[in-house]
Chain A
Amino acid sequence: MRNPLAEKVVDIPFSGIRKFFDIVSEMPDAISLGVGEPDFDTPWHIRDEGIYSLEKGRTFYTSNSGLKELRQEIANYLKRRQNLEYDAMKQVLITVGGSEAIDIGMRVMLNPGEEVLIPQPSYVSYEPCVILAGGVPVIINLKEENEFRLTAQELLDAITEKTKILVLPFPNNPTGAILEEKDLQEIARVCIEKDIFVMSDEIYAELTYKEKHISIAQMPGMQERTILINGFSKAYAMTGWRLGYACGPADIIEQMLKVHQYAIMCAPTTSQYAAVEALKNGDEDVQEMREAYNQRRRYLVHAFREMGLECFEPFGAFYIFPSIKEFGMTSDEFATRLLREEKVAVVPGTAFGACGEGFLRISYAYSLENLKIAIGRIRDFVERLRKEQQ
């Protein structure tokens, strides 16, 4: 029989997270700080709206680009929060999570051989999506001394004649890094000068703990060359609802709609009705969850520094990214031993790119009580390692 598989797909490695997932699944008493989703339930009024839509029998397809009311609410939200103007009819597309938007965005923009700049450490799906779309991923290794921000110089150094898109994953998973206005201004200047587009993954936009999040699309001249991707998963604790959106120039969104139409049809209807409620009446929920995350963030940064582990203060998402370089082990070794010996699961930084070596991603999407137990175990482990190494 012939090989049924496509080389392009087979050559893409599985995510480094899978290995840990397999070990943890066999350890029922392990504490995990390894999840990439909120611990809160979706606020009840949002769930209730989903249930109500089912009771009313709203169980059909919506229009391909999504409920008109939802697209309008998204446009209103972006105007209200970021002072961005999008035409709800032509510039907003509802997708199955932000993930789908990343995938189809790459597919409609890339010709074979065109390059996409991907700053790492970052979320695991950009690189495979670029490859599947026939593009060439080019990695920019972000540095701890810059608090894992992308600098204009790093961007300039990576640009070639084939560069078409820059992926801008901030607030960042796994580092918790953010970009502020002056960072964005300089990046915008380079993008305009070199005529490249930006795919800005802003799924954590509501979870920043310094200034309000700013989008690259707000920089002069950038909205017409930016695909803004966001969704409901992180802000409203709606991961399982699988709902996101892309906003951008009408000609790009139109082509994305075409792929979406053929591949997906439309995003889940129940989720769309619930999302309308989230945008209309969910601001307070977001505020409350943000406060809770912020308290846990301060607690963890403090705890890691108290342990003597280097940890820059992250101001976004719900992760911290401490360094374990002093132990002379790889992130993978450290995380594996921590799991086996203390039954605490964390994700090695390398799962998010080679330059994550020497770091761990610690999620604070857990209650303070949970975090405290986990920190106690990590502290024991670190002290034992230090004794071993004396």
Chain B
Amino acid sequence: MREQLLKIIERNSRIELKELAVILGVEEAVIIEELQKCEQEGVICGYHTMIDWDKVGVEKVSALIEVRVTPQRGQGFDNIAERIYKYPEVNAVYLISGGYDLLVSLEGKTLREVSAFVSDKLSTLDTVISTATHFILKKYKDHGTILEKKYEDTREKVTP
């Protein structure tokens, strides 16, 4: 039940408890208890809203930055990752296998702001060897949601 519940609210965190109970075929109390457990265990980390800021007309610049670092003895990458993710403008930090070490997802108001963050804050960290910044030009799909096209039902309306 937990996996199904999580799949549903991952897509729609605003779904009503009553409806969850109906479609999962259990009592509402069971859902409430399960949600509480998931929150306590840190399985549910937050309830966010997906926003296509482009449509609001608010200027935002997103970038993905590849960072190569020198791992520290006894700490590995954790220490440097923490120093990076504490910046509020950083959305996500991933440890990556392959050509570089950390992938940093960043959001700023302007190109200059993002560039400044990279040159002033990120590259100047002792353990950072190099960075490569990729600005995002267009988001087609995010968090499993296609941003461009709306679903259109092209089926015949009545069929046997």
Q: Which of A17, A35, A298 contacts B22 (CB 8 A)?
A: A298
Which A residues are CB-close (under 8 A) to B23?
295-296, 298-299, 368
CB of B120 within 8 Å of the partner chain: no
Q: Are A299 and B159 in contact, CB atoms less than 8 angstroms apart?
A: no
- What separation, in Å, do the CA atoms of A317 and B91 have in the docked complex? 43
CB of B158 within 8 Å of the partner chain: yes
Q: Are A123 and B160 in contact, CB atoms less than 8 angstroms apart?
A: yes
Of the listed stretches A5-13, A24-32, A377-385, chain B binds A24-32
CB of A181 within 8 Å of the partner chain: no
Which B residues are CB-close (under 8 A) to A36?
159-160
Query: How many A residues touch the partner, as a band?
Result: 20 to 34
CB of A283 within 8 Å of the partner chain: no
Q: Are B157 and A291 in contact, CB atoms less than 8 angstroms apart?
A: no
- What separation, in Å, do the CA atoms of A299 and B18 have in the docked complex? 11
Q: Are A32 and B160 in contact, CB atoms less than 8 angstroms apart?
A: no
Q: Are B153 and A39 in contact, CB atoms less than 8 angstroms apart?
A: yes
Q: What string of 1s and 0s marks CB contacts (under 8 Å) between A139-164 and chain B?
A: 00000000000000000000000000
Which A residues are CB-close (under 8 A) to B157?
21, 24-25, 30, 32, 34-35, 345
Q: Which of B137-160 contact A (CB under 8 A)?
A: 153, 155-160
CB of A347 within 8 Å of the partner chain: yes
CB of B19 within 8 Å of the partner chain: yes
- What separation, in Å, do the CA atoms of A135 and B23 have in the docked complex? 44
> Nearest Cβ distance between residue B28 and chain A, in whole angstroms?
13
Which A residues are CB-close (under 8 A) to B24?
295, 298
- Are A37 and B153 also in contact (CB < 8 A) when A298-B25, A368-B23 are? no
- What separation, in Å, do the CA atoms of A36 and B4 have in the docked complex? 26
Q: For residue B26, which residue of chain A has the nearest CB?
A: A298
Task: Report the count of interface residues on B (CB-CB < 8 A).
Answer: 15
Q: Are A347 and B158 in contact, CB atoms less than 8 angstroms apart?
A: yes
Q: Are B4 and A34 in contact, CB atoms less than 8 angstroms apart?
A: no
- Are A17 and B158 also in contact (CB < 8 A) when A295-B24, A296-B23, A299-B19 are? yes
> Nearest Cβ distance between residue A36 and chain B, in whole angstroms?
5
- What separation, in Å, do the CA atoms of A299 and B25 have in the docked complex? 9
Q: Are B25 and A37 in contact, CB atoms less than 8 angstroms apart?
A: no
Q: Which of B4, B7, B25, B156 contacts A35 (CB 8 A)?
A: B156
Which B residues are CB-close (under 8 A) to A347?
158, 160
> Nearest Cβ distance between residue B150 and chain A, in whole angstroms?
12
CB of A77 within 8 Å of the partner chain: no
- Are A15 and B160 also in contact (CB < 8 A) when A291-B4, A368-B23 are? yes
> Nearest Cβ distance between residue B14 and chain A, in whole angstroms?
12
Q: Are B19 and A35 in contact, CB atoms less than 8 angstroms apart?
A: no
Q: Which of A17, A39, A125, A368 contacts B159 (CB 8 A)?
A: A17
Q: What string of 1s and 0s marks CB contacts (under 8 Å) between A229-270 and chain B?
A: 000000000000000000000000000000000000000000
Q: Which of B9-52 contact A (CB under 8 A)?
A: 19, 22-25
Which A residues are CB-close (under 8 A) to B159?
17, 21, 34-37
Q: For residue A306, which residue of chain B has the nearest CB?
A: B22
CB of A337 within 8 Å of the partner chain: no
> Nearest Cβ distance between residue A349 and chain B, in whole angstroms?
13
Which A residues are CB-close (under 8 A) to B25?
298
Which B residues are CB-close (under 8 A) to A352?
160
Q: For residue A368, which residue of chain B has the nearest CB?
A: B23
> Nearest Cβ distance between residue A189 and chain B, in whole angstroms?
32
The 6 A-B residue pairs whose C-beta atoms are closest, nearest first, are A295-B23, A34-B158, A32-B157, A21-B158, A24-B157, A36-B159
Question: Which residues of B pack against A, CB within 8 Å?
Answer: 4, 7-8, 19, 22-25, 153, 155-160
Question: Which residues of A pack against B, CB within 8 Å?
Answer: 15, 17, 20-21, 24-25, 30, 32, 34-37, 39, 123-125, 173, 291, 295-296, 298-299, 302, 345, 347, 351-352, 368
A-B contact pairs, 11 of them (CB 8 A): A21-B157, A21-B159, A24-B158, A32-B158, A34-B157, A35-B158, A39-B153, A124-B160, A295-B8, A295-B23, A299-B19
